[in-house]
Structure 1
Amino acid sequence: MTDTKINTLVSPEGSLEILSNHEVNRLKDKSEGGLYRLFRQCALAVLNTGVETDDCKALMEANADFDVRLVPQPRGLKLELINAPSHAFVDGEMLRAIREHLFAVLRDIIYTHSIPQTIAGFRGDNPDDITNLVFHILRNAGVLEAGRQPDLVVCWGGHSISHEEYQYSKEVGHQLGLRGLSIITGCGPGAMKGPMKGATIGHAKQRVKNGRYIGITEPAIIGAEAPNPIVNELVIMPDIEKRLEAFVRCGHGVIVFPGGVGTAEEILYLLGILLHPDNSDLPFPVVFTGQKENAEYFEMIDRFIRNALGDEAASRYEIIIDDPVRVAQTMKRGVKEVETFRRAMQDAYYFNWMLKIDPVFQFPFEPTHANMRSLELHRDQPVHMVAANLRKAFSGIVAGNVKEQGIRQIQEKGPFEIAGDPTLIRPLEAMLEQFVAQNRMKLPGATAYQPCYRIISGAA
């Protein structure tokens, strides 16, 4: 996975330069409550930008000799990297983008673990406190820009996609860039990189000098989806739920490209939120798009949504096939409607405070065998709860596919079991089979994909 290794000292680039003794000690602490292991894992992921892997566990094992240490300096601090992968360097100098990302990791890990202690009465099970934490992390990272007109389009889609699908996502990004729109993605490869790369060309043609390519990730996924080098604003949220909330709070619209279980998780999260009655009049443009070869894929997604959540959920998105110009035009109009609405309601352009997010979408879900087996996958509950529990099922499969802890659980205890109402479970099983057949579960490797889940048909 890596060739030669490099030992070096790295100075800060654009982020945190000063740490307290307490923060330094926490980053050095290798105990369970310390931050060393988390910081090392995220730093290693950033240094492997461009490496074709989506196996966090394999990445860590292949770089077992890597180490990162804090070196206090009279004027701040430096990072000492030991056995760092050489592809993060050019002629012995670290790539500037990677250096920025490395110190963004340091900034966000420190801040995320210190801010709850500074917010009076902060509770991790309080919905308002969770949203407040998301806001503070984004503000500290410089993502929230007061005075800037709405222009941020969230692009979701698979990291394991075909070359043709990548090129299509790139052309959509190009058309968005020509219209002055900027991009937020999960920051990884595939459909996360394509729109950013296309937007850079569109921005260059229009002489847009402040184009934004924001990547939002979380520690458990960053090793599987290392930030692509186009990202110029990287943010590491504490967990997947806060990552998803960050997308919908600071984005002004969403485009969904073909993907696998991670994309399905994002779709269910978004629709589950938009189905809340308090959000019925809130404009939020959503477009599903792909090549003409992807028409059947989106027909499958649409059928699954209509079966699980009903036609009202389907009314919250538009499917546009093989037409990047129309996608960009639709998103531009939608973002303008968001701007008009926010102005009328005196809501911030930079953070969607009015969006109602039910707590069930905010509280972290831990994908263990017991939790996956006990998911409430039935229709005898409000429709947003159906979306929430299906979202958790997909989240667990993502963990079993690419997250270090999930992979270890599968190796130790076998596949997760998923059971529920056959009217929900059978379409779910059929869609998962298609994801496997279309190579959307993981990047192609030497061995065939082994499912990390087992569907218990007909179980209640």
Structure 2
Amino acid sequence: MVINNKTNASISPKGSLATLSQREVQQLREAGEGRVYELFRQCALAILNIGSGSDNAKTLLDAHPDFEIRIHQQDRGIRLELLNAPSAAFVDGEMIASTREMLFSALRDIVYTQSKLESDRVDFESSEGITDYVFHLLRNARTLRAGVAPKIVVCWGGHSINHEEYKYTKTVGHELGLRGLDICTGCGPGVMKGPMKGATIAHAKQRITGARYLGLTEPGIIAAEAPNPIVNELVILPDIEKRLEAFVRVGHGIIIFPGGAGTAEEFLYLLGILMHPDNKDLPFPLILSGPQSSAPYIQQLHEFIGATLGPAAQQRYQIIIDDPHQVAREMAEGIKEVTQYRRVHDDAYHFNWLLKIDESLQHPFDPTHENIAGLKLTRNQPVHELAAQLRRAFSGIVSGNVKVQGIRLIEQHGPYQITGDRDIMQQLDRLLQAFVDQHRMKLPGGSAYEPCYRVVG
């Protein structure tokens, strides 16, 4: 039933989730008070709003205050009753298939995550325990496929990119698809969609069936950036740190396209891993690329890394400008090295167990004003630890830009205060201002960007 562009509907799962226990249903039915229910409601609303163009979670929630989901336990499984759902998710009264799949993927991940958290088997006090937790979340989502040769390329980059940059990501994705490679992204718009869109055509040309378009997200991100409809495997990790670890554990190489604060966060996270002494000899293809018009942005990011982390960090990645063929060739060759290395060292193809991730990159960072002000952005520490600290600064900026909690903190207390060594702050301020000037902080077409931070020092 459609009323004022809103729809009431009843749907059952297909494939990704068959049953829930009575206890799990009760967790989700605690409407208005239950944290698990509200988390599922936010993620579901974002999924139902695919194509809305919004990257502000608070705006999305405020626009649909009457949206509600009721979970019913049945002998044959579960049924979701949607009240005042966005009509764009339906065609002639039937929910779009990809939307339905993603909705139940969200339910699957949120319920399983809560169940794991409540068990006494999760060890969050050790790096190994956190990695084991990420492994179980991915395995429950059927993401890990033993015996399949490495071919997953992770594509990182901005949701707020211009048309030329978007076309470039599609072309690179097409070249990757022609070589039989699968695509993994953060599953939203912009760079998270372009490579997948290009790869779909290439996979069709090569008559490849069962191609994978893997989207990894977390509740705070998905509420602001709905998954794009090409994603055929959606996984919602509980926080940004688990999400980032999932990317580097399941991916066999990473391409970084132009972006903003979120892209810088991901780049610094990965460099914090690759610069760890234990990963010195571990192959992990990493390429920065974009069209010719994006060369100044890539060069600026490259110079920022050199000025803060040093030349050794710059040696861990390649820069390829305006050459999609070369990007795909280099990535394919890099993945061959990864395959050989894992074969020799008996590491799994589907999960990179040998990669050392320092605990400082695994524990959730709460971007409060106090925690942002307390970041150690100084040179008197190992390079991989400085990278981790810089990553947290950008994580705070992302939160203040698009996440409900961060937006509300900025409204209450004003901009974050970021402090550190004078030369590092100068480099950081220069990079962030370039992001603002190039409109890389928010989706285009909205109001003028108001910085959620102040760089001091």
What's the TM-score, normalizing by structure 1?
0.97
1:307 is matched by which residue type in structure 2? A
- The equivalent of 2:197 in structure 1 is 197
8 Å contact 1:288–1:319 — kept in the other structure?
A: yes
- The equivalent of 1:11 in structure 2 is 12
Equivalent pairs: percent with the same residue? 60
8 Å contact 1:149–1:349 — kept in the other structure?
A: yes
Counterpart CA distance in 1 for 2:280 and 2:104 is: 40
2:271 is matched by which residue type in structure 1? L
1:368 is matched by which residue type in structure 2? T
8 Å contact 1:175–1:324 — kept in the other structure?
A: yes
1:265 is matched by which residue type in structure 2? E
- The equivalent of 1:232 in structure 2 is 232
Counterpart CA distance in 2 for 1:54 and 1:261 is: 14
Q: What's the RMSD between the two structures over aligned residues?
A: 1.2
- The equivalent of 2:22 in structure 1 is 21
Assess, with a 3 A threshold, how the Cα gap between structure 1 residues 159 and 152 changes in structure 2: closer, same or farther. same
Q: Name the SS for the 2:193 alignment partner.
A: helix
8 Å contact 2:22–2:73 — kept in the other structure?
A: no
List aligned pairs for 1:421-440, cutoff 5 A.
421-440=421-440
- The equivalent of 2:150 in structure 1 is 150
1:319-360 residue CA offsets vs partner (Å, 9 max, x unmatched): 000000000000000001100100000100000000000000
- The equivalent of 2:107 in structure 1 is 106
C-alpha displacement of 1:13 = 1.9
- The equivalent of 1:369 in structure 2 is 369
Structure 1: 5+ residue stretches without partners: none
- The equivalent of 2:250 in structure 1 is 250
C-alpha displacement of 1:30 = 4.1
List aligned pairs for 1:323-342, cutoff 5 A.
323-342=323-342
- The equivalent of 2:354 in structure 1 is 354
C-alpha displacement of 1:447 = 1.9
8 Å contact 1:125–1:363 — kept in the other structure?
A: no
8 Å contact 1:273–1:384 — kept in the other structure?
A: yes
8 Å contact 1:3–1:85 — kept in the other structure?
A: no
Counterpart CA distance in 2 for 1:207 and 1:455 is: 51
Counterpart CA distance in 2 for 1:124 and 1:358 is: 13
Counterpart CA distance in 1 for 2:454 and 2:266 is: 21
1:263 is matched by which residue type in structure 2? T
Assess, with a 3 A threshold, how the Cα gap between structure 1 residues 346 and 160 changes in structure 2: closer, same or farther. same
8 Å contact 2:187–2:227 — kept in the other structure?
A: yes
Counterpart CA distance in 2 for 1:22 and 1:428 is: 48
Q: Name the SS for the 2:18 alignment partner.
A: coil
Counterpart CA distance in 2 for 1:146 and 1:365 is: 32
- The equivalent of 1:57 in structure 2 is 58
1:354-397 residue CA offsets vs partner (Å, 9 max, x unmatched): 00000000010000000011111110111111101100000000
C-alpha displacement of 1:71 = 1.5
Assess, with a 3 A threshold, how the Cα gap between structure 1 residues 31 and 95 changes in structure 2: closer, same or farther. closer
List aligned pairs for 1:5-404, cutoff 5 A.
5-30=6-31, 34-118=35-119, 120=121, 122-404=122-404
Counterpart CA distance in 1 for 2:79 and 2:34 is: 23
1:132-161 residue CA offsets vs partner (Å, 9 max, x unmatched): 110001011011001110000000000000
Counterpart CA distance in 2 for 1:29 and 1:379 is: 48
8 Å contact 2:28–2:34 — kept in the other structure?
A: no
Counterpart CA distance in 2 for 1:289 and 1:406 is: 30
Deviates more, 1:132-141 or 1:440-449: 440-449
C-alpha displacement of 1:33 = 5.8
1:272-297 residue CA offsets vs partner (Å, 9 max, x unmatched): 10011111110000000000111111
8 Å contact 1:253–1:286 — kept in the other structure?
A: yes
Counterpart CA distance in 2 for 1:229 and 1:258 is: 22
8 Å contact 1:12–1:78 — kept in the other structure?
A: yes
Counterpart CA distance in 2 for 1:33 and 1:370 is: 28
Q: Name the SS for the 1:35 alignment partner.
A: helix
1:53 is matched by which residue type in structure 2? S
1:110-139 residue CA offsets vs partner (Å, 9 max, x unmatched): 11111244453x232321111011000101
Assess, with a 3 A threshold, how the Cα gap between structure 1 residues 119 and 207 changes in structure 2: closer, same or farther. farther
Counterpart CA distance in 1 for 2:277 and 2:400 is: 34
Q: Name the SS for the 1:376 alignment partner.
A: coil
Counterpart CA distance in 2 for 1:32 and 1:112 is: 19
8 Å contact 1:28–1:34 — kept in the other structure?
A: no
1:405-430 residue CA offsets vs partner (Å, 9 max, x unmatched): 00000011111110110111101000
Assess, with a 3 A threshold, how the Cα gap between structure 1 residues 123 and 30 changes in structure 2: closer, same or farther. farther
8 Å contact 1:116–1:133 — kept in the other structure?
A: no
Counterpart CA distance in 2 for 1:303 and 1:82 is: 51
8 Å contact 2:214–2:232 — kept in the other structure?
A: yes
8 Å contact 2:212–2:233 — kept in the other structure?
A: yes
1:378 is matched by which residue type in structure 2? T
8 Å contact 1:53–1:224 — kept in the other structure?
A: yes
Counterpart CA distance in 2 for 1:125 and 1:388 is: 18
8 Å contact 1:53–1:443 — kept in the other structure?
A: yes
Counterpart CA distance in 1 for 2:261 and 2:12 is: 38
